[in-house]
Amino acid sequence: MSNGRGYDRPANYTVLVEGHIDASWSTLLEGFQIMPLGGDLSQLSGRVVDQAALHGLLARIAELGLVLVGLQRTGCPARRD
């Protein structure tokens, strides 16, 4: 159900976590693609259906003991006010 708020729609996110995460963890992280970066960081990239799904992903990151370094919504659609 959409109520006009942009965060209640599907969106792409990039998440940075500490450590080098194996690509096999993708199934544990909602199918997000995993890319190791320099400086002992990993980038997780993918799409969530709404803000509740994003909160679920962040909870899973915490459950796995990963340290969240950054979160960015990418490719945001234009706002319709």
Give 28-53 pLDDT, tens digit per residue: 999 999 999 988 999 999 999 999 99
Q: Can you tell me which residue has the tokens 């679920």?
A: 56
Helix (H, G, I), strand (E, B) or coil at 3: coil
Asked if the structure places residue 34 within a domain, the reply is: yes
Vertex 71: Cα angle to 67 and 74 (nearest 5): 150
* Mean pLDDT score, 7-19: 91
Sheet of 68-74: strands edge to edge? 33-37, 41-48, 11-18, 68-74
Asked if the structure places residue 2 within a domain, the reply is: no
Asked if the structure places residue 79 within a domain, the reply is: no
Rounded Cα distance between 2 and 49, Å, is 11
Residue 11 has pLDDT above 60, yes or no: yes
Asked if the structure places residue 42 within a domain, the reply is: yes
Range of the domain at 26: 9-65
* Mean pLDDT score, 14-34: 95
The reply to whether the predicted model has a pTM over 0.75 is yes
CB within 8 Å of 7: residues ≥ 6 apart: 50, 51
Q: 49 or 8, which is more confident?
A: 49
